[in-house]
Amino acid sequence: GEDVEQSLFLSVREGDSSVINCTYTDSSSTYLYWYKQEPGAGLQLLTYIFSNMDMKQDQRLTVLLNKKDKHLSLRIADTQTGDSAIYFCAETTGFQKLVFGTGTRLLVSP
Amino acid sequence: GAVVSQHPSWVICKSGTSVKIECRSLDFQATTMFWYRQFPKQSLMLMATSNEGSKATYEQGVEKDKFLINHASLTLSTLTVTSAHPEDSSFYICSAIQRNTEAFFGQGTRLTVV
């Protein structure tokens, strides 16, 4: 079945690194995504990774994928107050229906 | 990236009335659109998948007579919440994709039923 879980809350200081974790259960997932949602807004795609990769780096963002453990993480380097938002991981077996995680609220304090 | 526009951004309506939410892909043709519902501090739940020119496919537990979806063109899908009740109050988000591309999300519509 499809079940994607995340820790609910993460608090960091500005300038620190943030690591947001996600576990999923569908081993047939081909793409895994990270989205950002600011209050009252829609979702913004941050990055995605193919299931045959184990790492992807994009500026301050690093995605790590452990397919064996079905574990995905998003590391944000040099976290800024503007990074405060809810972060959702999502999985799909194609560019179709997305199954979203429970969301992690990141709070960055000055 | 591509732009998906939702309208209205927020709406307040009386119980028993119907509300229509529009989702438009502004610079691409969307073969498929998705409608999600998000309760406060919760994740997004897929309500239905809408393909242009065909009936929407609803997820289990979603009443298709209550949430009417129309995808009449490649750039527009609408969600109509019929006979709205306070428990329908929620944040509704659409997404749109072309064939085999990433999903682009609208900014969402906050519905409050009073």
Say yes or no for a CB contact (<8 Å) between B107 and A102: no
pLDDT of residue B54: 83
The predicted pLDDT at position A94 comes to 63
Q: Calculate mean pLDDT across residues B80-85.
A: 97
In terms of pLDDT, which residue wins out, A17 or B1? Answer: A17
Substitution target in A6, A43, A106 with the highest count of B β-carbons within 10 Å is: A43
What's the pLDDT score for residue A40? 80
Distance from CA of A101 to the nearest CA of B (A): 6
What's the half-sphere exposure (Cβ side, CA atoms, 13 Å) at B107? Answer: 10
**Do B46 and A98 make contact, defined as CB atoms within 8 angstroms?**
yes
Q: What is the pLDDT of residue B72?
A: 81
pLDDT of residue B1: 65
State whether B100 and A95 contact (CB < 8 Å).
yes
Classify residue B92 as exposed, middle or buried by CB count within 10 Å of its CB (0-12, 13-18, 19+): buried
Q: Within 13 Å, how many C-alpha atoms sit on residue B89's CB side?
A: 10
Instruction: Give the best residue of B49, B105, B107, B111 to mutate against chain A (max A CB count within 10 A).
Output: B105
Chain centre to alpha carbon of residue A86: 10
β-strand partners of B47: none
**Which positions of chain A have pLDDT values less than 70?**
1-2, 94-96
CA distance A107 to B87: 29
Residue contact B108–A98, C-beta within 8 A: no
**Per-residue confidence (pLDDT) for residue A1, from 0 to 100:** 46
Q: What is the DSSP letter of B30?
A: -
pLDDT at B66 > cutoff 60: yes
